[in-house]
């Protein structure tokens, strides 16, 4: 390579690095919001560990395989979805949640029990939010909410890092003296002394979080921290699937199960 070509290459590299370094935390969150807007269908696997809310000294482990299709008009779940939930071995599907926009079926494959939530028959189910905190669109809603409430949230870009061999931005979001539910239920409430921190590892190439770590505690009892650590991998955007199979909530799909019709409280 000639000397001039080497100099040109180095200049381009420096410029690109400089531009990347000038991006603020808000810039990166906004690009992540925009990226999620391009996703109509997604598949991914999720490994999660978190504090057991019933025993702060215990840790719960969860493994999921998930398909989502966006339902823009749906502010309860925001997706058609199929959640496969594994316990420990990552091989046997113990629980499944299937939602087609009108009906949710929660299957307990271990005990052959299916709980059915019919949102058409019982529209009061729509008063509450179903699992939107587990969806990318619920996460997108949170990002928008954070950006609209920067007087309450602190957003900071940390040093870039590598997660699962992928170059990632690190964005930390802090919230003090307030609390909120995740997903579409996001709404700030006063909670004096509470502190929460959420660290997002956002893949630089696709502007999508591939790991999220969070902790919350009271300033009076900092040693009693609740934590969550979620890793997303084998991500596939806008794939083609057979929706009639993947989001099937027909009676035939739960043949052989003890069916429990759930009603709003």
Residues of the chain with pLDDT under 70: 1-21, 74-76, 129-134, 183-185
pLDDT of residue 265: 84
pLDDT of residue 179: 81
pLDDT of residue 185: 67
pLDDT of residue 12: 43
Q: How does DSSP assign the chain, residue by residue?
A: --HHHHHHHHHHHHHHHHHHHT--HHHHHHHHHHHHTT-SEEEEEEEEEEEETTEEEEEEEEEEEEEEEE-TT-SSS-EEEEEEEE-SSSSSEEEEEEE-SSEEEEEETTTTEEEEEETTT-GGGGGS--SGGGSHHHHHHHHHHHHHTTTTEEEEEEEEEEETTEEEEEEEEEEEEEE--SGGG---EEEEEEEEEEEEEEETTTTEEEEEEEEEEETTEEEEEEEEEEEEEEEEES----HHHHT--SGGGGTTSEEEE----
Domain ranges across the chain:
24-261
The CATH number of 24-261 is 2.50.20.10
Instruction: Tell me the per-residue pLDDT of 245-260, one tens digit each, with 9 for 90 and over.
Output: 999 999 999 999 999 9
pLDDT of residue 157: 98
pLDDT of residue 20: 58
């Amino acid at each position: 390579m000639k000397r001039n070509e080497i100099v040109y290459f180095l200049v381009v590299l420096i410029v690109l690095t400089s531009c990347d370094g000038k991006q603020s935390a808000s810039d990166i969150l906004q690009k992540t919001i925009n990226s999620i807007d391009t996703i109509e269908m997604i598949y991914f696997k999720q490994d999660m560990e978190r504090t057991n809310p019933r025993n702060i000294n215990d840790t719960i482990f969860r493994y999921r395989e998930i398909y989502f299709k966006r339902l823009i008009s749906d502010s309860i779940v925001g997706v058609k979805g199929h959640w496969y939930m594994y316990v420990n071995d990552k091989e046997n599907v113990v629980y499944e949640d299937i939602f087609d926009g009108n009906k949710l079926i929660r299957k307990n494959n271990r005990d052959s029990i299916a709980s059915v939530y019919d949102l058409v028959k019982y529209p009061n189910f729509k008063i509450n939010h179903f699992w939107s905190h587990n969806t990318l669109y619920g996460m997108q809603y949170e990002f928008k909410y954070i950006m609209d409430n920067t007087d309450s949230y602190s957003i900071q870009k940390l040093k870039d890092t590598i997660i699962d061999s992928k170059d990632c931005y690190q964005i930390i979001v802090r919230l003090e003296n307030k609390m909120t539910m995740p997903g579409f239920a996001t709404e700030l409430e006063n909670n004096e002394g509470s502190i929460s921190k959420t660290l997002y590892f956002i893949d630089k190439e696709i502007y999508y979080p591939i790991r999220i770590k969070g902790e919350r505690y009271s300033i009076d009892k900092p040693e009693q921290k609740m934590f969550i650590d979620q890793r997303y991998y084998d991500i596939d955007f806008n794939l083609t699937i057979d929706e009639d199979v993947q989001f099937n909530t027909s009676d035939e799909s739960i043949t052989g199960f003890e069916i429990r019709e759930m009603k709003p409280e």
